[in-house]
Amino acid sequence: MAHSVDLNTDLLRLDMDDSGVATVWIDDPSAEVNTISRETLDGFSEVLGSLEQMSDLLGVVFISAKEASFIVGADLRMLQQFDTPAEIRGLSRRAHRLHWRVQSLDVPTVAAIEGPCLGGGLEMALSCDYRLASTHDATKLALPEVNLGLIPGGGGTQYLPRLIGLQQALSLMLTGKNTYPRKARKIGLVDALIHSPGLHEAGRRAVRQIANGTVSINRSQPSVAKRLLESNPVSRRIVYRQARRRTRSRTNGHYPAPPRLIDAVKTGLEQGLDRGLDAEMRHFGELAFTDESKALVQLFFGRQAGKDNPVSQHAAPFRTVGILGAGQMGGGITEVTAANDLDVVLKDQTLKQAAAGKRQVWADMNRKMEKGIVNQFERDKVAERVVPTASYDDMSHCDVIIEAVPESLQLKRQVLSEIEDVVSDDAILATNTSSLPIQRIAEGVDDPERVIGMHYFSPVGDIPLVEIITTEQTSDETLSTAYELALAQGKTVIIVNDGPGFYTTRILALYLNEALLLLEEGADVPAVDETMRAYGFPMGPFELLDFVGIDVAGKITEVMDEHLPLDRVDISDSARKLADANLLGQKTNIGFYHYGPAENGTGKERKDFNEDIYRNLGQTSRTTPPAEIVQDRLTLMMVNEAVRCLEDGILRSPSDGDIGAVFGLGFPPYLGGPFRYVDQNGPGAVARRLRDLAYQYGSRFDPPDRIVQHEGRGTRFHRDD
């Protein structure tokens, strides 16, 4: 029988059973998830004060009272309330002190983890003697602070390397990646796994067994080679050097957090725990005030805000989604739908083609199983939710239809018209198109109010964004239901209004077009690609042209040429010339680069540059402008067009513009997106640079009215600046 201990905090509960095992229940009643805030730290301090006074205490279990959610990290809005690094250092010092108090309890302590255990939540778990994790599919552990331009501030840089080893800890912290239960057990991050229903009782049992000596904490030993490499300061220098080199290669020096993280880890291991904690505290405080961290944190808030459906009251329920087209895009949409507990009817022209789409889903889930992200049962369950078919009749019960057929206006109209006659009058008809106007597609159906654009990005499973496009006729119910579906698929959502290329394709098309203009002026393809990768884009523009298809890119830029004012565009015809020569990119294994099968059997990988590109375009000599010119021309072309999308009413807010560019197109996250780029550099400085570019390269670089207005008023796009 358990009894409760009176506390002043309502964020934590403390129960004691008859055997002397205390349970600390973590549960913020005002929030869906638990976070580390100043109030949480106050609560932990009070709870520890009570535990420290208990003479009959056998041990402690720390567990969340929320379903499938432990602690998701620090309350970032709390960090924004501080005015100086010293205040944030003080917060870090408090967390370090609490960590020490948990470790100093003279009884076993167990963290019973289910759901996300991130950031400060994992640091809290690291303070315990023993970690028990549920195999619930929501359980994941990570120190993701580096993705916010920060480093762990509650002791993570010191205690994680001491627990799982230097190399493993640096890998986890420098990437911020999730570790799932089975891998966490394998590397010693958790000590045991348990099925979800028995988590609390397993935690109490572990306390009793550790206390009476029937269970000892034995973690797997690293390999001999790993022990030798990490056992002394001389060999550890190799690990630090390799970590710095890999980090530099990945970030090109644009993110200040990774080198600070390595420094904190090194200080702790080479100079002792206290010095390491001091270094962590100092770096944590300073990083919170960098432009990079501010940009990354605001992107995080933008994504969080996108989880709130603005018209949620109009959403209709859905259980089954019909997907037309079982190719790469349709298969990807099918996977993210089925993997999130929705049934899918997948149609293609033949049952064989539809079945191939289902096999793609199974293969992708199998790779996740091999990585320990899902188990065999979960893999098979996702695949079984997919029903392949060649008949519209099998889709009559679908609540939402998403067509993912090739980019042809006539074909998209045809398939939506045909499926409209089969499904109920309430079913939503969504079209996955990257550039075709939704209004034109909707002309093929009897009820255009039920038609909406849902623009997914390839590869669907990796790119988090869905761009929802509405027309003047799209009903609130259609918009709300499509929004809820995208959220159910685990996607980040922005809503834009209909127009040529919508938002993301429009700004990407002009970015790629500017790269083609550079090519026509004599720029070297690999040099331009390397310059933009070094600037922070995930791939260069010519690599991207090969990926999306040079023929597709050519058609999209033609659409832009038809609809945008002449002074805004200078469309290159290089993509058309290359497409006419059947140089289409990855789909034909040759474009700007040669391609071949990837070693892991998935997709294709770049082999080498195609020197014939220049001859195909009738060019010989190469003169690439300085890197700064290349970066400015390409980046500012995208920024300019993003601002014009806001002026034209395509975008609804600067935040949506930043979210769409970063999470859909790979705009460098440390820059925060096109609008935050303007804010951080200053509208005046950006306007002056645009005028310089317009003088040298043409009126397409003239600064938009909104930038000129902010320049004159001394204002910014984002009010938080």
CATH of the domain at 520: 1.10.1040.50
Look at residue 388 and tell me whether its pLDDT is greater than 60. Answer: yes
Q: Does residue 480 sit in the same domain as residue 576?
A: no
pLDDT band at 558 (very low <50, low <70, confident <90, very high): confident
Q: With respect to residue 296, please indicate whether it lies within any of the assigned structural domains.
A: no
Q: What is the CATH number of the domain that holds 15?
A: 3.90.226.10
- Mean residue pLDDT of the chain comes to 92
What are the residues whose beta carbons fall under 8 Å from the beta carbon of 346, sequence distance 6 or more? 322, 323, 326, 330, 331, 334, 354, 357, 358, 386, 387, 388, 389
Rounded Cα–Cα distance for residues 563 and 509 (Å): 13
Q: Does residue 228 sit in the same domain as residue 344?
A: no
**pLDDT recorded at residue 570:** 83
Counting beta carbons within 10 angstroms of the beta carbon of residue 142, is it exposed (0 to 12), middle (13 to 18) or buried (19 or more)? buried
Q: With respect to residue 133, please indicate whether it lies within any of the assigned structural domains.
A: yes
**pLDDT recorded at residue 1:** 62
Look at residue 567 and tell me whether its pLDDT is greater than 70. Answer: no
Question: pLDDT digit string (tens) for 130-148?
Answer: 999 999 989 999 999 999 9
Q: What are phi and psi of 87, to 5 degrees?
A: -65, -40
Rounded Cα–Cα distance for residues 114 and 132 (Å): 9
**pLDDT recorded at residue 566:** 64
Q: Does residue 155 sit in the same domain as residue 268?
A: yes
Q: With respect to residue 387, please indicate whether it lies within any of the assigned structural domains.
A: yes
pLDDT band at 211 (very low <50, low <70, confident <90, very high): very high
Closest alpha carbon to 653 in 496, 465, 454, 438: 496
Look at residue 39 and tell me whether its pLDDT is greater than 70. Answer: yes
Q: Does residue 551 sit in the same domain as residue 479?
A: no
Q: Does residue 490 sit in the same domain as residue 572?
A: no
Q: With respect to residue 307, please indicate whether it lies within any of the assigned structural domains.
A: no
Q: With respect to residue 591, please indicate whether it lies within any of the assigned structural domains.
A: yes
The one-letter amino acid at 709: Q
Q: Does residue 466 sit in the same domain as residue 532?
A: no
Which element (helix H / strand E) includes 102? helix 85-104
**pLDDT recorded at residue 225:** 60
Q: With respect to residue 145, please indicate whether it lies within any of the assigned structural domains.
A: yes
**pLDDT recorded at residue 444:** 87
Q: With respect to residue 444, please indicate whether it lies within any of the assigned structural domains.
A: yes
How many folded domains does the chain comprise?
Answer: 3
pLDDT band at 466 (very low <50, low <70, confident <90, very high): very high
Look at residue 344 and tell me whether its pLDDT is greater than 60. Answer: yes
Rounded Cα–Cα distance for residues 471 and 466 (Å): 16
**pLDDT recorded at residue 554:** 82
> Percent of the chain beyond pLDDT 70?
96
Coil/strand/helix, residue 372? coil
**pLDDT recorded at residue 552:** 86
Q: How many CA atoms lie within 13 A of 175 on its CB side?
A: 12
Q: Does residue 548 sit in the same domain as residue 692?
A: yes
CA distances from 384 to 290, 337, 351, 377, 378 (A): 48, 12, 16, 10, 10
Select which of 292, 467, 641, 711 is catalytic.
467
Check the CA dihedral 652-658-659-660 and report its sign. Answer: positive
Q: What are phi and psi of 272, to 5 degrees?
A: 110, 160
Closest alpha carbon to 520 in 619, 635, 615, 609: 619
Residue after which a domain boundary falls, among 446, 476, 498: 498
Of 231-235, 495-499, 561-565, highest mean pLDDT:
495-499
Q: With respect to residue 719, please indicate whether it lies within any of the assigned structural domains.
A: no
Question: pLDDT digit string (tens) for 658-669?
Answer: 999 999 999 999
Q: Does residue 282 sit in the same domain as residue 144?
A: yes
> Is 467 assigned a catalytic role?
yes
Q: Does residue 494 sit in the same domain as residue 535?
A: no
Per-residue pLDDT averaged across 353-382, rounded?
A: 90
Full domain range(s) for residue 8: 3-289
**pLDDT recorded at residue 3:** 78
Question: pLDDT digit string (tens) for 688-703?
Answer: 999 999 999 999 999 9
CA distances from 175 to 152, 180, 253, 501 (A): 12, 15, 15, 33
Q: Does residue 513 sit in the same domain as residue 481?
A: no
Look at residue 569 and tell me whether its pLDDT is greater than 80. Answer: no
pLDDT band at 224 (very low <50, low <70, confident <90, very high): low
The one-letter amino acid at 381: K
Residue after which a domain boundary falls, among 248, 274, 289: 289
Q: What is the CATH number of the domain that holds 444?
A: 3.40.50.720
Residue 64: both structure tokens together: 């969340």
- State yes or no: cis peptide before 259, omega within 30 of 0: no
Place of tokens 């830029």: 557
Per-residue pLDDT averaged across 54-75, rounded?
A: 94
Per-residue pLDDT averaged across 273-298, rounded?
A: 96
Per-residue pLDDT averaged across 565-589, rounded?
A: 84
**pLDDT recorded at residue 442:** 94
Q: Residue 609's CB: how many other CB atoms inside 10 A? A: 15
pLDDT band at 602 (very low <50, low <70, confident <90, very high): low
**Confidence (pTM):** 0.90
**pLDDT recorded at residue 600:** 59
Residue after which a domain boundary falls, among 498, 525, 547: 498
What are the residues whose beta carbons fall under 8 Å from the beta carbon of 201, sequence distance 6 or more? none
Question: pLDDT digit string (tens) for 483-517?
Answer: 999 999 999 999 999 988 899 999 999 999 999 99
**pLDDT recorded at residue 720:** 64
Q: How many CA atoms lie within 13 A of 522 on its CB side?
A: 7
What are the residues whose beta carbons fall under 8 Å from the beta carbon of 655, sequence distance 6 or more? 298, 302, 305, 675, 718
Q: Does residue 510 sit in the same domain as residue 489?
A: no
**pLDDT recorded at residue 222:** 62
Q: Does residue 74 sit in the same domain as residue 44?
A: yes
